[in-house]
Amino acid sequence: MKTPSPQDPFPASSPIAEWQQSEETKAARRRYLSAVLSAGRKQQLEQVKSQAAEQNKKLEETSVADVETGYAALGGHVPSAQETYVEDKPLRLHPTRTFLPGMKYKPEDLTLPGLGTRRPFVRPGPGFTNEEAIEQADYKNLAFLNKFVTITGRLLPRRQTKLKQKVHRHVCREVKLARQLGLLPFTGRRADFLKRRTQDSW
């Protein structure tokens, strides 16, 4: 089949309208355009094939199995000796201790400090023994009695003071006596009571 000439034998610049053109002219024009398009596609395919062949030749010339460069030769970047050097750091088995290769250690050395020890819960309280409470419990010892009263003025329960029942009753009696004498406030501790009195006096 003959390739069409680059010039269009049927220019579209004629003054005759398209509907007046004959069917033969339209068919000839369609055939010419399809031939031009197919020729252009063939040229593009040939260019792509030639580029792929050149790339294959380049890949065959470069040795991928090179130990020093490896696959970096394909990208054109050859790493230097400083880039390929990796510092060997020992594996951290413990956050605070360093175990070097060849060292011996026990399994207990790998546990974190204080991991397996449970401290018993101690409820906060005055912290006096029964003997100390009996000796110091007096309505005039306001610093001692103040520790058995909450900030709202309530007496601490036995489960918090850890005192015997008899000793606890004795301390509560002394607190109530100090309140009746006006030494301790009914609605708080003595320190807060003294602050309020000094602020009111100013």
User: What pLDDT sits at residue 19?
Assistant: 47
> What's the pLDDT band for 99 if we cut at 50, 70, 90?
confident
Q: Which CATH number characterizes residue 156's domain? A: 4.10.640.10
- Domain closes at, from 61, 86, 112: 61
Quick check: 94 pLDDT over 90? Answer: no
Coil, strand or helix at 155: strand
pTM for the complete prediction? 0.37
- Domain closes at, from 61, 83, 112: 61
Residue at 177 is within a domain: yes
Quick check: 188 pLDDT over 80? Answer: yes
- DSSP 8-state assignment for residue 177: H
Which of 47-56, 86-95, 103-112 has the weakest average pLDDT? 86-95
User: What pLDDT sits at residue 175?
Assistant: 94
Residue at 157 is within a domain: yes
146: left (phi over 0), alpha (psi -120 to 50) or beta: alpha
Residue at 105 is within a domain: no
Q: Are 153 and 146 in contact (CB under 8 A)?
A: no
Average pLDDT, the chain: 73
User: What pLDDT sits at residue 176?
Assistant: 94
Collect all residues with Cβ–Cβ distance below 8 Å to 125 and sequence separation of at least 6: 156, 160, 161, 162
Instruction: Between 141 and 111, name the one with better pLDDT.
Output: 141
pLDDT tens per residue across span 48-66: 778 878 877 776 665 444 5
Residue at 8 is within a domain: no
Residue at 195 is within a domain: yes
User: What pLDDT sits at residue 179?
Assistant: 93
pLDDT tens per residue across span 138-169: 999 988 898 899 888 899 999 888 899 999 99
Residue at 103 is within a domain: no
d(CA 199, CA 189): 16
Residue at 25 is within a domain: yes
Residue at 158 is within a domain: yes
Give the type of residue at 76: G
Segments forming the whole domain that contains residue 36: 19-61
Number of domains the chain is built from: 2
